[in-house]
Structure 1
Amino acid sequence: MERIHAINPERIVWCCADFGITVDKLAAENAIPVASLERVLSREDESGLTFKQLSKIAAYFGRGVLFFLEEGSIHFEQVHTPAFRTLANQKPELSAKLKLFIERVEQQRSVFLSLREEMESGDLPRFEHPALVADDIPTAARLARKWLELPPHNSFDSYRLAIEKKGILVFRSNGYSGKWQIASESPIQGFTLYEESCPVIVVRKMRSEARQSFTLMHELGHILLHRTSSIDDESDMLSHQGEERDANAFAGHLLVPDEFLCEISDHARPGNAASFDAWLHPQCKAWGVSAEVILRRLMDARRLSQSQYAAYRAWSKNLPAPDTDQAARTYRHREPKHIFGETFVRAVLDALGERRISLSKASSYLDGLKLNDLNELEKHYAGL
């Protein structure tokens, strides 16, 4: 079997350090003999690796094979974008899989920007900052809601579509195993990759779409108020400090404006925190938010005590975990829309229709859809 000898060992070592793994772990997870890797790294002999082995390493690190054949050392700044470095600095403990996830999101944005520049129609939206005053959160949220042209009743999908229409890509992780899933053990709820002409928001798929709505608007707050990339876990969604406090307040006021609170009767509030969900169910359903978001807004308005809110939090934490068994993927062709959103999928399909990209390219951009599923997706968008 032909072997590759001109491998740059420094690049393998650098990638291991970047991912926080040992050479032994790299070998074990890619079914490569440790001795073979150690010989390459030490330059003891010229045995090299097979193309298949090097391809496994490249795929594991999210790189191309040529990356490991180029001469010279590399630096963090050369490989990772400023937005990626911002997230890595905020959460140094990011897992290797999540780092790859972030890089894939950046790659998808690059695909979208390329398609947007090539398309003849010019219908794909471009982001322009609305005029907001960042130090007046309630007013900023009110203006943002007007900018998004939101009706009184909403869901996660309608919030997402409104944001996408303003030139911001909104991705959501997949609930199925694969490269677009955020691991169940990860605490990350969402992140933002800021870019002047096309920011990206990523929301983790959760059992409750209402919780996703808050994450979505929290990340939008980072874009509109702070104009920066950010990555957030559950503690950030509850933070009362700095930019996270601002993003939380922004999300709360945007999702539940002051005038919405007038629809809630304090006299009807049950004495038992376990009944708060039922009490607020009509509003939660109409506004596409969780009961917790409404309770936090009521607490801000001094209509709910901290002890009542804490009792609700304690009760909700003790709820049984949902059944995680995955259903059959009956509608595989719709998954790219759920993951990448309306704007991205339409850009790919329009480019395919104009013959600017091949079927294989379209498939690779849409989570590896097979030809039959790609045809079904086209029919779905055509209303057939």
Structure 2
Amino acid sequence: MAPPMSAAAFLKALKDEGLKVVEVGSWETHNRNHKGPWGPVNGVMIHHTVTKGTANTVKICRDGHATLPGPLCHGVIAKDGTVHLVGYGRANHAGLGDDDVLNAVVNEKPLPADNEANTDGNRHFYGFECENLGDGHDPWPAEQLLAIEKVAAAICRHHDWTADSVIGHLEWQPGKVDPKGFTMHSMRERIEKRLGGKPSPSKPAPAPSTGTYTVAKGDTLFSIAAAHKTTVVKLVDLNKLADPNAIRVGQKLKVPSAAAAKPQPAYEPFPGAAFFHGGRNSPIITALGRRLVALGFGASYKTGPGPNWTNADKAAVRAFQLAHDELKGDADGIPGPKTWSALKVPKV
């Protein structure tokens, strides 16, 4: 949580990160501050525009339209990686979102599934619209993805935030799918690497001692490592495991103590592969669908997700499986233990 940086500091941070910046008109004072507060700021939000052509996109994002006045963001990230600054201050980009997501961003913790719209996001997030049709087919050039990475890193660097302070619109507001065409998980990994992959100076590094984690049903070494923000290799070395695939329920594993001290997230236990069949109706299926959408794998959903198991759910699960090398062998669209552990579906 921090006061917004000045417009001059904002511009300098972007340029210092090596970005090409175009200043559009009096962007520094173009805002919606008369409609509500701007700040404290807590993170960066990424969107796609559903528009074509940089000039047209910049105009829409600066001026808005009949039902939503501009600015619609602070900066437009064009296909060639140029950042066009169109406003600064409160902007109509985030709308109402989930307060649980905001709390996770503030505390830089894993995001819960967004399931309500009760909190003003225009106050709390820097917003960037990315020129893209948002249909899952319009390409994301390397220059544009690099610019997104740099923009987010520049702001995180100024505020001493980690990559966990960067989210997509789809992770904030139920029903949103942007940005579509890459995952926010992969983008946060890029941002973390750009920031050095190290704890910020104001945050102490984890202690070298270890804690204990008891293996539960459905756990894999991959899911345990992800939950404790470590790697499979480190867990293998720490526990001197001869076979990483041979862990068993009830087995006690050493994990980094800083991670062990954190409460275990409330994930839905694996209901078994037979659970997923035509005619199945369950809130677990809704939670699964929302999790897939939040992770960027919701292209198959025309409506929903809902409680009925459909081919759209199956297609979304398969897309998730194909995107992860360790799950490709199970890419049939039906969650198995490994897929379910990797998905981390919130408990319902």
Shared fold, TM over 0.5: no
Please give the TM-score of this superposition, normalised by the length of structure 1: 0.26
Greater helix proportion: 1
Greater strand proportion: 2
Please give the TM-score of this superposition, normalised by the length of structure 2: 0.28
